[in-house]
Structure 1
Amino acid sequence: MGSIDFRSGESAVDLTGEVHHLPCCIKYNGPSSVSQYFKPKPTGVEVEDLKVEEAQFRGRRLQGTTIHMPEGYSGSVLGKKNLSKSEASSDFEDQSNCWEVNARFQSITTWNHDNLPSQDDAFLRSFHWINVAKALHRPVTSDDLTKTGV
């Protein structure tokens, strides 16, 4: 079983405005001077209340929009936690599933290759589940029962 230490996030780097969800797989894990080459620009176009941005990535045109995390939520960038000898157990599996928050963000820009961003994009639709979860887990009051006739 794994664990995530959210307390480490109190001193985490703030990446708000710098997190991007790209429609591709990059088989590289390491430092890169992304900001030197990847320069999103506003287009002045607004579709379905989404402000459209434009960028190029490896010669391909991308169109995207920046969305803010819902109130009470934030995004986190996790990294493997370096355990001290006293924290580490003899079970290797437990050690390999310990994570900590390295950075936080309050907004993310999601990108499409061939079409404008839309409220129907799968990534944006995933945020609708937050409202569904709130409704499902909200305590039922006597007023709710009266309204339904139960």
Structure 2
Amino acid sequence: MSIVLDFNGKNLAKSKTMDLHYLPAKIDGDGEANVEQYFNNYTREATECGNGILTNSLRGYPLVGEQLKVPEQYRGLVLQETEKSINKSIDRQLRLTGVFEEFTYWNYDKVPSNGDAYRQALLMADVGQALTQHISEQDLEAEIARNKENTKEHA
């Protein structure tokens, strides 16, 4: 099975920016939702939990969240499957339905932190960039010299 992405650069530039929420729930539905009226209107800032922390609820369950930005040099895409197939050997086709540069990340009943698996996944973009960055010979020699100095100070 393969996945075919149905979009090009022109579609990407023209795509509408979406108000996106990452919820810790599975919702069996695939349609429009009046998020502005029935969800966003009830979102409040929870200053007692920290700066930028939000609170809301979903079907009576408390949610605590925050606005997160897509890492620099990346762009968030919303893809929708054109036809759901029961047969797993058939190719899947996804089409671009929108883009986003920030989204609201929600947890059930706990303040979001870097310990959350989803937040750790976002941090991996920075780790990957650091690991693939070129290191000059001069930078390497300077780091070795710093380590030798630190070793002497602690010995």
- TM-score tier (shorter): 0.7 to 0.9
Aligned mate of 1:118, from 89, 108, 113: 113
Structure 1 residue 35 displacement after superposition: 2.1
Q: 1:9 corresponds to which residue?
A: 12
Report the aligned-residue RMSD. 2.4
SS in 2 for 1:14: coil
Greater RCO, CA 8 A, separation 6+: 1
Aligned mate of 2:125, from 119, 130, 141: 130
Q: Describe the shift of the 1:137–1:81 C-alpha distance in structure 2 as closer, same or farther (beyond 3 A).
A: farther
Tell me, which stretches of 5 or more residues in structure 2 are unaligned? 84-88, 145-155
Q: Which amino acid aligns with 2:38?
A: Y
- The answer to whether 1:28 aligns with 2:29 is yes
Q: 1:77 corresponds to which residue?
A: 78
Q: Is the 8 A contact 2:49 2:111 kept in 1?
A: no
Tell me, which stretches of 5 or more residues in structure 1 are unaligned? 83-91
Q: Which moved more, 1:108-117 or 1:140-149?
A: 140-149
Q: 1:44 corresponds to which residue?
A: 47
Work out the number of aligned pairs and report it.
134
| TM-score, structure 1 as length reference | 0.75
Structure 1 residue 80 displacement after superposition: 4.1
Q: Is the 8 A contact 2:63 2:107 kept in 1?
A: yes
Q: Which amino acid aligns with 1:56?
A: S
Q: Distance in 2 between matches of 1:108 and 1:64?
A: 10
| TM-score, structure 2 as length reference | 0.73
Structure 1 residue 27 displacement after superposition: 0.8
Larger-Rg structure: 2
Q: Which moved more, 1:55-64 or 1:27-36?
A: 27-36
4+ runs deviating over 4 angstroms: none
Q: Distance in 1 between matches of 2:132 and 2:93?
A: 28
Give the structure with the larger strand fraction: 1
SS in 2 for 1:126: helix
Matched residues, percent identical?
25
Q: Is the 8 A contact 1:6 1:100 kept in 2?
A: no
Q: Is the 8 A contact 2:46 2:54 kept in 1?
A: yes
Q: Describe the shift of the 1:144–1:3 C-alpha distance in structure 2 as closer, same or farther (beyond 3 A).
A: farther
Q: Describe the shift of the 1:54–1:73 C-alpha distance in structure 2 as closer, same or farther (beyond 3 A).
A: same
